[in-house]
Copies of this chain bind each other. A is one copy, B any other.
Amino acid sequence: MEYYFSDKLKALKPSAIREIFKSLGDPEMISLAAGNPSPLSFPVDDLARISADIFANSATAALQYGTTEGYAPLVKEVEKRMKEKFSIGREGDMTIITSGGQQGIELACKALCNEGDTVICEDPTFIGALNAFRSCGAKTVGLPVGDDGIDADELDRLIESTPTAKIVYLIPTFQNPGGFTTSLEKRKAIYNVCAKHGIMIIEDNPYGELRFAGEEVPTIKSMDTEGIVLYSSSFSKILSAGMRVGYMCGPEPVIQKMVVAKQSEDVHTNIFFQMLTYRFMTECDLDAHIAGIRKLYRSKCDLMLSTLDKVMPDCVKYTRPEGGLFLWLTLPDEINMPDFVKKALEYKVAVVPGSTFLCDTNGTVNAVRLNYSTPSDDDIVKGCTLLGEAVKEMLNK
């Protein structure tokens, strides 16, 4: 039997990150390639205690079918927190609980884009979002993202010249993969450009609570007087990634359409863990828990940066993130990125090729992504030191 696939999925490949993970079967390999939260960030004892109570007192509701919109008390609590922390939630907004932040992004594209429509993205950007757009048959077009975000004038011109543009996808805070944060000035300018064109923004903010340096920058959604911003976030980086509980807040007509689409995808998100998340939020001290994670990541990021400062020659550049999980390391022109990734594997260190995150699947960029949240402190030092040796070996050739 010969199998024929849909046009939108024909070209879609498993992400390069997953391929790299296969090399991680080697127990000697140090991975700086992951995007996982630290296991130290899971509040296991509290979750265990609340779980036992749910089984004892609310088992039927927790194990039965639920509503697609999400467990109502959790929706309310999420809305309260978004309001308090990020000034999000205007008249006419609605929130849906999704199976991880990933699902919200995919549902939004499914609701708004026909095949052949265009999503404008930061370049590089989160591979999971790129593949979600592609799996809906949408094209992805990138705008270079610098230290402080994309350029609003360039965005204006790109929208002008792209009649199929339907969505602008942004990770303004501690961007994945770059660690970049878009400045307030640029956020305002980007919002105004999108409002002028009546084009929807997806503001993806999974790392927003993980600031460990610098000043808070207001979310784009907090400026959304026009109802053009879909705000996505999740509990993956602050409670548990494996439970798959995220959310999206946006204009009610759009969220309602996503509810209909979600009903056809997975009916609803795991109810037990929605209840568990709600109970943790209301019975435990989420702020204190997050403060602990920030402290942990500050120390891990500092350790990675100070090691890189020590071992890397000046021609190697990297971002100094103020939060999140990642930094972006740019190689000098003398070093070819794919060769470096291979050389790093010889040195038993896994990193993610920067080209993985490009809108153009044939594009290249002379950079790699490094993660500091997952590896142990020892592995951060050892891994970065080995990467330094790899760079030096390649420069001396």
Question: How many positions in chain A have a CB within 8 Å of any CB in the partner chain?
Answer: 81
CB-defined contacts of A18 to chain B, threshold 8 Å = 68, 263
A103 to B268, CA, bound (A): 11
Starting from the known contacts A1-B226, A36-B64, 19 additional A-B residue pairs (CB-CB under 8 Å) come to A5-B112, A8-B110, A8-B114, A15-B263, A18-B263, A36-B65, A39-B60, A42-B60, A42-B64, A48-B52, A51-B51, A65-B242, A102-B264, A110-B135, A242-B271, A243-B272, A244-B266, A244-B267, A244-B270
Select from chain B the residue with minimum beta-carbon distance to A114.
Answer: B6
**Shortest beta-carbon distance, A42 to chain B, in Å?**
5
Q: Which residue of B is nearest A56, CB measured? A: B48
| Residue in chain B with minimal CB distance to A43 | B63
> CB-CB contacts of A330-355 with B at 8 A, as 1s and 0s?
00000000000000000000000000
**Given the complex of chains A and B, what is the CA–CA distance between A39 and B271 in angstroms?**
14
State how many angstroms separate the Cβ of A266 from the closest Cβ of chain B. Answer: 4
Question: Is the CB of A151 closer than 8 A to any CB of chain B?
Answer: no
| A16 interfacial contact with B, CB 8 Å | no
Q: Give every chain B residue within 8 A of A44 (Cβ-Cβ).
A: 55, 59-60, 63
A-B contact pairs, 25 of them (CB 8 A): A1-B228, A6-B111, A6-B113, A9-B111, A14-B263, A18-B263, A36-B64, A42-B64, A44-B59, A44-B63, A47-B63, A48-B55, A48-B56, A63-B241, A63-B243, A65-B241, A102-B266, A110-B135, A114-B115, A242-B271, A243-B270, A244-B266, A244-B270, A266-B266, A270-B273
